[in-house]
Amino acid sequence: MKKHHHTLKIVPVFLVVLILLSACAIPASAPQPAAGEDNASALLRLDPPDAAPGEPDLAALSARLQPNSLTVRLDLLEQPQVEFSTELHLQTPAARVTILIAPDLSVSIQPADSNLLHAANAQWVTSTGLEVQLNSPKPLPADTEVSITLRDPVSGQGLDEIVPTALSAPAPAPAQVALIFWNVMPASTPAQALRRWDGAHTGPVGQRHGLKHLLNAASQAGLPITLLDALTPQALAALELLGQVDTLRGLQQQGLVAFAQPSWGDPAACQIALQLSQSAAGDYGLSAAPGVVSGPLTAECLTNPADFSFAWLGQSAQTVQTFQSVSLLPLPYPPYDSSAAKEFAFTQVDGKRLSGAILRQLLQNALSADPRRVLVLGGSLPESLFAEQSIATQLMQSIEDLPWVRVLSLEELRQIPAGQAAELPQGCADLFCSPNSANLRAYTPAGQPAEMSLAETQSRLREALQSLPASNPFTRETWRAYLTLTQPASSPERAQLQANYLGQLGYPLYALLWARQPTPIARCDIDLDWDAEAECVLANQSTLAIFEHRGAALVGLYTLESQSLTRWIAPSSTLALGLGDSSEWNLTTGAFSDPGTLPGAFTLAQDTRVYSSQITANRLIFNLPDSADAKVFELDDDGSLIFTWAGESNQNMDIPLIPPRASTLSPAWVQSVSLQQEPDSIRLNSGTPVTLTLNHAEMIDTVSFLDTLKYIQKPEDANQVFDEGHFLPFPLVHFLVQVQPGATIRLWVEK
């Protein structure tokens, strides 16, 4: 179709568009503006999708009546593939006039000597919106009728029409859209955070992509969006690292972004998940809309004050329904279905505008006149074209440019009266229809299925955690780790991986029990992680250390001061899992399934060799059978841990530390960590300082999220060589040390 801007008279187009856009904000229930009122506008009629493919298909007729002019806008459903001419008919009680608009937008008035009009022009204001400006010598009556006929310019055959409609006719309700997004910041490392915010070559079509571009596009178009899981502690920690919490806060204050209170992880733990996200959001100065919750929620979590949520209710569900007195907005697919997410992303969009299928569905929704019918667009953000930089702005603007479509804010969604009682689809136990992995069994490091099923392990962990004070920061951190390791998985492989590592939460649970009555412990006969292999425990009244025989690794180090328990060393899997190449996973090797994890300190990642142990009151010796290698750990009276390498050759070892003040449950965690390195020591300060003193040992490398601060707030550069800390789970600090025979390392937490 040709789009020449041939006019008979110059018109201030920006003013026309501005006034038309303001018409979109008038609710369907609002009174019809009086004829002749300044800036009055109205959607006059909707037309069913009925044209042949490729031919022009009228969707809507709008008009704005002013004292000496009438602006008529007709909107096509899609950009047609053929040229057409337009006949616009005006009928008043006293006269009838026809405005003929050729494909090149030249305009003529018939009869030419009509006293009704004295000038007319036409122009395309969008790719599918044709605006006709009519000037009259005197005001047109409010009962003037407008009709449209589209014709083949050669044969004169009619292609589509809108029947006569009075300017004073009640406005039909527009199609209702909700822009809903989830997986908005699934990040556990600086690399993931930057990629999900402003990633290079990472979107569905391989271009720059991320939450930044969605927010920019929504802001420029003035369209409200709802983010379902931006307030999880992990997402907030990533946004804090990126320096973007203020951005979200500002958009929320403008009414452009609204948040649900998210649950995540094990659906049976949704109550504690909601509490954690609410607390974290408040600490960051953000808040969810009152009563709005989201996530894999079970019926038990849909209690007062919750009154609105989101759910997968089946393919055909598009109306707001009720479930246990909570209104549910149907989602277009189950949120954990990754293949459906990818398919839906391309179903929604064609080029840089909504697809024909979506537009037809919207038009049919509007014609149904059902106020409960809402079409949800958006979806999982990593797969969504709404966050594609090359598409997002024009896509959002194309939606705003449709006068027959209204994008609803979260508050407007909450005002929709719920209809029929909802039933979750068969096989769905929660609102997100999470995959059921209850019958999985973790593998032990020896390659054997665990005695308990995943469901039994989760039940034991939940029961233990629920018996502890929820206000305890250490308990909250353990809950966060539990929810991370029980996140519903989109693939069987991911579910198995998480199951293999879940038992490691037995370490902090044991520490919590010890902290209730701290007494000396020296034993190597207790299985804390349900992997059919015994761990060693060495403790005095202020320090608890847990060791695995495989790799002779220190897998847990905890200190107690003034009844406050602090974690210093733990497997990296309690922060993040599955960061490496999934093709390298070996899912039958238990807690060694993912080579990208750091299992503990004074070992290497994949050292699965089984050491023998000898333990006394404050001393633990690990010997490697058929070898002279030995590791010695001692607890000093001041609470420090002393490691001695009794091997015959130099050895590299990992020492991962978790700064306690850098909890991702707390704001300003990025600024809470500092490092001071000397030739024979390194001091990590995070509220409570910890010092590593080296004797006959060399610090080879120090890696942390601090390494990434110099480029974390810039767009991701595909050519940038990032430091290793960019790929490390935050807030972990990783020391790589080389020890000589007889070397000692003293780890001392200052009191």
Q: CB–CB of 310/295 below 8 Å? A: no
Query: What phi, psi does 675 have (nearest 5°)?
Result: -125, 135
Do residues 275 and 386 both lie within one domain?
yes
Q: Is 683 exposed, middle or buried (0-12, 13-18, 19+ CB in 10 A)?
A: middle
Residue 316 is assigned to a structural domain of this protein: yes
Give the pLDDT band of residue 420 (cuts 50, 70, 90).
Answer: confident
Indicate the pairing of strand 158-166 with strand 96-101.
unpaired
Can you give the pTM of this predicted structure? Answer: 0.91
Do residues 623 and 705 both lie within one domain?
yes
Residue 422 is assigned to a structural domain of this protein: no
Identify the pLDDT of residue 41: 59
Q: What is the number of domains present in the chain?
A: 3
Identify the pLDDT of residue 298: 94
Residue 439 has pLDDT above 80, yes or no: yes
Query: What is d(CA 165, CA 290) in angstroms, rounded to the nearest whole number?
Result: 42
Do residues 592 and 707 both lie within one domain?
yes
- What residues contact 154, with CB distance under 8 A and at least 6 apart? none
Q: What angle, rounded to 10 degrees, do the helices at 492-502 and 473-485 form?
A: 150
Do residues 151 and 193 both lie within one domain?
no
Q: Which of 360, 380, 414 is the last residue of a domain?
A: 414
Query: What is d(CA 729, CA 575) in angstroms, rounded to the nearest whole number?
Result: 6
- Phi-psi domain of 379 (left: phi exceeds 0; alpha: psi -120 through 50; beta: other): left
Residue 254 has pLDDT above 90, yes or no: yes
Do residues 133 and 248 both lie within one domain?
no
Residue 407 is assigned to a structural domain of this protein: yes
Beta strands in 371-527 (DSSP E): 375-380, 405-407, 521-526
Do residues 73 and 199 both lie within one domain?
no
Residue 388 is assigned to a structural domain of this protein: yes
Average pLDDT, the chain: 91
Identify the pLDDT of residue 421: 86
Closest of 505, 501, 453, 454 to residue 477, by C-alpha: 505
Give the pLDDT band of residue 42 (cuts 50, 70, 90).
Answer: confident
Chain segment 443-498, per-residue pLDDT in tens: 999 999 999 999 999 999 999 999 998 889 999 999 999 999 999 998 999 999 99
Closest of 625, 464, 616, 617 to residue 530, by C-alpha: 464
Rounded to whole angstroms, what are the CA distances from 593 to 129, 359, 413, 451, 573? 57, 47, 44, 18, 11
Chain segment 203-246, per-residue pLDDT in tens: 899 999 999 999 999 999 999 999 999 999 999 999 999 999 99
Do residues 387 and 521 both lie within one domain?
no
Residue 241 is assigned to a structural domain of this protein: yes
Q: Which CATH number fits the domain that encloses residue 157?
A: 2.60.40.10
Do residues 391 and 529 both lie within one domain?
no
Residue 351 has pLDDT above 90, yes or no: yes
Q: Which domain holds residue 37?
A: 13-166
Helix (H, G, I), strand (E, B) or coil at 506: helix
Do residues 116 and 250 both lie within one domain?
no
Residue 5 is assigned to a structural domain of this protein: no
Do residues 231 and 360 both lie within one domain?
yes
Residue 15 has pLDDT above 60, yes or no: no
Question: Residue 539: CA atoms inside 13 Å, Cβ hemisphere, count?
Answer: 24
Q: Which CATH number fits the domain that encloses residue 713?
A: 2.70.98
Residue 39 is assigned to a structural domain of this protein: yes
Residue 175 has pLDDT above 70, yes or no: yes
Q: Which of 397, 414, 431 is the last residue of a domain?
A: 414
Q: Which CATH number fits the domain that encloses residue 318?
A: 3.20.110.20
Q: CB–CB of 248/230 below 8 Å? A: yes
Closest of 120, 93, 260, 256 to residue 184, by C-alpha: 260
Residue 9 has pLDDT above 70, yes or no: no
- Phi-psi domain of 578 (left: phi exceeds 0; alpha: psi -120 through 50; beta: other): left
Do residues 663 and 553 both lie within one domain?
yes
Identify the pLDDT of residue 291: 96
Do residues 79 and 211 both lie within one domain?
no
Residue 426 is assigned to a structural domain of this protein: no
Give the pLDDT band of residue 703 (cuts 50, 70, 90).
Answer: very high
| Stretch 269-298: mean pLDDT | 96
Q: CB–CB of 236/285 below 8 Å? A: no
Q: Which of 414, 443, 473 is the last residue of a domain?
A: 414
Helix (H, G, I), strand (E, B) or coil at 421: strand
Query: What is d(CA 309, CA 322) in angstroms, rounded to the nearest whole number?
Result: 10
